[in-house]
Amino acid sequence: MDIDGLNDALGLSNDKSQNLGTYIYQPPKHGKSAGERPSKRRKVSSTAGKDEQADRQRFVPLLNGDENAESVQLRYDTYQELWSNQENKIQDILEDVDAGVLTDVLSFVRDTSPQTCDGCIPTALVTVGSNVSSLSRLLSRLNGQLISTEEGSVVVLESGDAPNLKTTLKNIIRATVTNTDGNDGYQKFLTDRAGPRLLGYDLDLLHDYVQRKGTKKLVLALRDSEAFDPGLLTDLLSLFKSWLDRIPFTVLLGISTSVELFEGRLPRSCVALLRGKHFEVQEAGNCVDRIYESLQTDPNTNLWLGRNVTSTLFENTSDYFQSPEAFSRMVKYAYMSHFFANPLGVLLANPDSTILAQTKLCETVRNLPSFRMFCEDLVEEGSIKQVRDMLEDDEYLIQETPKYLDANQQRMRNMFQAVHVVHTCLQYTQSAKKTNVSDLSVRALSGELSESTIVEEMVAMAKTLDSDKLDKLLGRLRGILISPEADVIQEDLRTLLETCSESGPLRSGYNINSTVTKTTVVQQRIRLSKGQADLSEQAVEYTNIVDRLVALLQVHLTETLINPQDLFLHEAFLFDLRNPLKETFAPRPRFAIERALATPFDYLLSSSDVTMTKVSAKQPATAILYQLYLDSGALVNVHDLWQAFYGVFETEEADGCDDRVVMSLFYGALSELKAFGVIKNSRKKTDHLAKSAWMGL
């Protein structure tokens, strides 16, 4: 067999590029590999055939490739527009969250100096907990602030930068200089000095730099302080201490555990060098809740995340300690998926009818499950004519679709308003645990909120509120619950309260204080009977108002808290696919490999209709070996394994198979299993392997 043929069989390229460590990619000569990838060629030529525009953009025409170019472009633009809006919101929230800590740290850095710290190094201890990304955000903003006011700068050091003292110092000096002057500035700084050339780790360099720049504060931030070698940290800090009179260091330590634990790892002599303050960064969870709330309930939102997506998002956040950034990236990915893969995304762009007039798009709309439900409802209502038109007349459909889309988007907004209402009411009715908006949203998105116990309890509690609280509640609801009835109720309440302002808060008839228990003795038995206490006239009136409010709430909630899945065209404005998101951000690589090996035909869609559940020679060698391996015990005799492996091939190839060929397959499979770390050499017995992974564990 010639070398080229073998290389082809093994999937090796002939230019030996696979043996190079790193190289700059150059496309292969096309003539040679033309036969290899016909599918690709075709793709290139087909896109090149269309206009330039189509070639320049990322989105692929959907609807079996029949989607027209404007529509594709429109989807892309809509994505950009919607997401940039949302992203700005997220940025605002993050800045807002950080603002508190930032001002604290900034004022600490400005106000403290070695003099105020009794000659110790001023130190800011920032505990970040699981919210790791917040620190880098904080530091870059701090750096920006200090540089803009020309007070100094922030140097960020990671544990990876600090293998030993020399390198650490060198890194610090370089980072300080490049931070303001850039890389060239650093080179110049090193060379353009009078006197003898100093080594890269000489703090004299830094001293020089500080003098030249007039730096007042040099903040040295250790991002992951726990990961630094304590010995190194001690050396570093004592060195700083001795230079403190010449270089104005301020140390900022990022701590993920607790200050006590961190302190415990350092020698006391080292701790004694530090004097400082403790800052705490807000936990990621709150931040994530806020982001989610603003994304979903904002009145300008056009695309919502469904229940499945929401629960996946929150699952990931809590399971993997995701940072708010990671959370928003996932949301971003959801947006991306929606517009990339859903042709209906174009509807959100409020396109004119020329774009909508694609036959395929109309067909798509007609094939929606929600369209079907919608039509069934129409038929029940008796509007058969309308249904017929929608089914048969493209133009009518094009004309109607945007209307329904708008209406239903409005209903979604109303739904989230209702969630807001519930959330606000809960602030007054729930005493112990506060349910947050994201929980409520998940329930609302699955259409369960209006019948949930939360709402029932809320309504029951609302009945017992006294007039003061009710007044406050109504005040809060004013901006959210927009209905003339609510205003009327509030006005009535106001007038009522004015008439009896001095008698303290009014209680409604449902309040426990206004029921009276009577005890009577009848025929030597005690009978308890409850009855309404006599209510004052105002109380009766107040009860009346409460009744009206509760009725209003109930009507409002049942009206607005609909199941989004029932809305016509919800496919276009509600993204609710769990999968691209879950698999993309929380992959299960081990499961994937185990599955590929244990049931290879899940992946290799067999063209022949043989349904193979058992081991057979038709499967890839590694899969065969893996399945044999699965059946074995904790210790495997290689010889027997080889026999079993050979047996698989022997039985199927009647005309006799070359056992050396099978052996080479066996070798390949064995080496792959070893690379996966599922087997290793066992020294208990000769030629034995130890199993080191159990499928499914």
Partner 1 sequence: MKRKLSDAGDQSPVSTPKRRRTALEQSNGALNGLAPNAALPNDDASYERPPSEQGQSTPKKVNGVSATPLQQSGLKTPTQKSKARGLFATPTKPKSAVAATPSRVKNADRSARKKSARVLFEQDEDAAWDGSERLAEEILHGDEPDTEKAGQPLAESIEPEGAEEASEKGVKQPKRRAGRPKGARNKRSPTPEGELPAHERYFFQNRAGPVRTSNATLSKVPLLTHEEYFEKLGQYEDPCKEEKEYLQSLHHRSFPQWAFEFDEGFNICLFGYGSKRKLMDEFAEWIYNHGLSATTTPTIVMVNGYTPGISIRSIFATIVTAVMGDDAPSKLGAQPAEVLELLQSALKSHEEPVTVLINSIDAPPLRRAANQALLARLAATPLIRLLVTADTPNFPVMWDISLRDQLNFVFHDCTTFLPFSAEADVVEEVNTLLGRKGRRIGGKDGVGFVLKSLPENARNLYRVLLTELITLLDDGHQSDDEGEAEVGGKDGDETGIEFRLLYQKATEEFVASSEMMFRTLLKEFHDHQMITSRMDASGMEILGVPLSRDEMEGVLEDLVLG
List binders of partner 1 among 186-225 (CB under 8 A): 224
Q: Should residue 31 be labelled a site residue for partner 1 when binding is judged by CB under 8 A?
A: no
Q: Should residue 590 be labelled a site residue for partner 1 when binding is judged by CB under 8 A?
A: yes
Nearer of residues 126 and 274 to partner 1, judged by Cβ? 126
Q: Which residues between 266 and 325 bind partner 1 (CB under 8 A)?
A: 320-323, 325
Among 129, 128, 141, 132, smallest CA distance to 96 is for: 141
Residue 308 in contact with residue 157, Cβ under 8 Å?
no
Among 467, 473, 471, smallest CA distance to 430 is for: 473
Residue 635 in contact with residue 684, Cβ under 8 Å?
yes
Return the range that interacts with partner 1 (CB under 8 A); candidates 101-109, 405-413, 471-479, 666-674: 666-674
Q: Which residues between 221 and 260 bind partner 1 (CB under 8 A)?
A: 224
What minimum distance in Å lies between the beta carbon of 87 and partner 1? Answer: 11
SS3 586: coil
Type of residue found at 317: T
C-alpha 240/C-alpha 221 separation (Å) is: 13
Q: Which residues between 120 and 139 bind partner 1 (CB under 8 A)?
A: 130, 132-133
Which one of 98, 289, 293, 594 is in contact with partner 1 (CB under 8 A)? 594
C-alpha 571/C-alpha 568 separation (Å) is: 8
SS3 579: helix
Task: Classify residue 179 by burial, with Cβ atoms within 10 Å: 0-12, 13-18, 19+.
Answer: middle
Residue 465 in contact with residue 508, Cβ under 8 Å?
yes
Return the range that interacts with partner 1 (CB under 8 A); candidates 178-186, 376-384, 419-427, 558-566: 178-186
Return the range that interacts with partner 1 (CB under 8 A); candidates 442-450, 518-526, 534-542, 679-687: 679-687
What minimum distance in Å lies between the beta carbon of 647 and partner 1? Answer: 3
Return the range that interacts with partner 1 (CB under 8 A); candidates 108-116, 274-282, 535-543, 620-628: 620-628
Return the range that interacts with partner 1 (CB under 8 A); candidates 51-59, 265-273, 391-399, 463-471: 51-59
Return the range that interacts with partner 1 (CB under 8 A); candidates 23-31, 230-238, 529-537, 544-552: 23-31
Nearer of residues 24 and 528 to partner 1, judged by Cβ? 24
What minimum distance in Å lies between the beta carbon of 618 and partner 1? Answer: 5
The 3-state secondary structure of 214-264 reads CCCEEEEEECCHHHCCHHHHHHHHHHHHHHCCCCCEEEEEEECCCHHHHHH
Would strands 635-637 and 688-691 be described as parallel, antiparallel, or unpaired?
antiparallel
Radius of gyration (C-alpha) of the chain in whole angstroms = 35
Among 650, 439, 469, smallest CA distance to 542 is for: 469
Return the range that interacts with partner 1 (CB under 8 A); candidates 141-149, 275-283, 345-353, 593-601: 593-601
What minimum distance in Å lies between the beta carbon of 214 and partner 1? Answer: 24
C-alpha 3/C-alpha 157 separation (Å) is: 51
Return the range that interacts with partner 1 (CB under 8 A); candidates 310-318, 354-362, 444-452, 606-614: 606-614
Other CB atoms within 10 A of residue 419 CB: 26
Q: Should residue 651 be labelled a site residue for partner 1 when binding is judged by CB under 8 A?
A: yes
Tokens of 228: 């630094």
Q: Should residue 609 be labelled a site residue for partner 1 when binding is judged by CB under 8 A?
A: no
Residue 215 in contact with residue 207, Cβ under 8 Å?
no
Q: Should residue 373 be labelled a site residue for partner 1 when binding is judged by CB under 8 A?
A: no
Q: Which residues between 630 and 649 bind partner 1 (CB under 8 A)?
A: 631-648
What minimum distance in Å lies between the beta carbon of 600 and partner 1? Answer: 7
What minimum distance in Å lies between the beta carbon of 123 and partner 1? Answer: 21
Q: Which residues between 140 and 159 bind partner 1 (CB under 8 A)?
A: 158-159
What minimum distance in Å lies between the beta carbon of 20 and partner 1? Answer: 6
Q: Should residue 340 be labelled a site residue for partner 1 when binding is judged by CB under 8 A?
A: yes
Q: Should residue 619 be labelled a site residue for partner 1 when binding is judged by CB under 8 A?
A: yes
Among 130, 187, 109, smallest CA distance to 321 is for: 130
Q: Which residues between 416 and 475 bind partner 1 (CB under 8 A)?
A: none
Would strands 304-305 and 574-575 be described as parallel, antiparallel, or unpaired?
parallel
Q: Which residues between 52 and 71 bind partner 1 (CB under 8 A)?
A: 55-60
CA atoms within 13 A on the CB side of 17: 11
Q: H/E element holding 464?
A: helix 453-464
Which one of 44, 110, 370, 541 is in contact with partner 1 (CB under 8 A)? 44
What minimum distance in Å lies between the beta carbon of 90 and partner 1? Answer: 14
Binding residues with partner 1: total (CB under 8 A): 140
Nearer of residues 325 and 576 to partner 1, judged by Cβ? 325
Question: 350: left (phi > 0), else alpha (psi -120 to 50), else beta?
Answer: left
